[in-house]
């Protein structure tokens, strides 16, 4: 039968593990939030890149879209040059 000191140590160890797990989840949520903010910013940039009809030539709009998509890929840790 475990003594009260052993039970207390077990409870403290469990609390420590739980605290670390919660901190790790908090860090991960923060990273997700940052990635989401980047993605929404890139979406706004994409909308601005497309613009209105007649605003820019199709070539200019496609070039701008490509730059935004490359930036989005890099923000997600993907190197677009390696995809060929």
Q: Which residue has the tokens 């923000």?
A: 75
DSSP classification of residue 7: H
Q: How many CB atoms lie within 10 A of CB 82?
A: 7
How many structural domains compose the chain?
1
Over the stretch 6-61, which tens digit does the pLDDT of each residue have?
888 888 888 887 877 877 888 888 888 888 887 777 766 666 666 666 677 778 87
DSSP 29-82: HHHHHHHHHHHHHHHHHHHHHH-STTTS-HHHHHHHHHHHHHHHHHHTT--GGG
pTM of the entire structure?
Answer: 0.39
Q: In terms of residue numbers, what domain contains 37?
A: 4-83
d(CA 71, CA 35): 12
CA 48 to chain centre: 22
């Amino acid at each position: 039968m475990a003594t009260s000191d052993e039970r207390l140590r077990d409870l403290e160890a469990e609390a420590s593990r739980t605290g670390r797990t919660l901190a790790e989840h908090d860090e991960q949520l923060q990273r997700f939030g940052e990635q989401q903010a980047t993605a929404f910013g890139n979406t706004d940039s994409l909308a601005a890149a497309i613009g209105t009809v007649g605003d820019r030539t199709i070539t200019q709009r496609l070039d701008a879209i490509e730059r935004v998509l490359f930036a989005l890929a890099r923000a997600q840790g993907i190197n677009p040059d390696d995809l060929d």
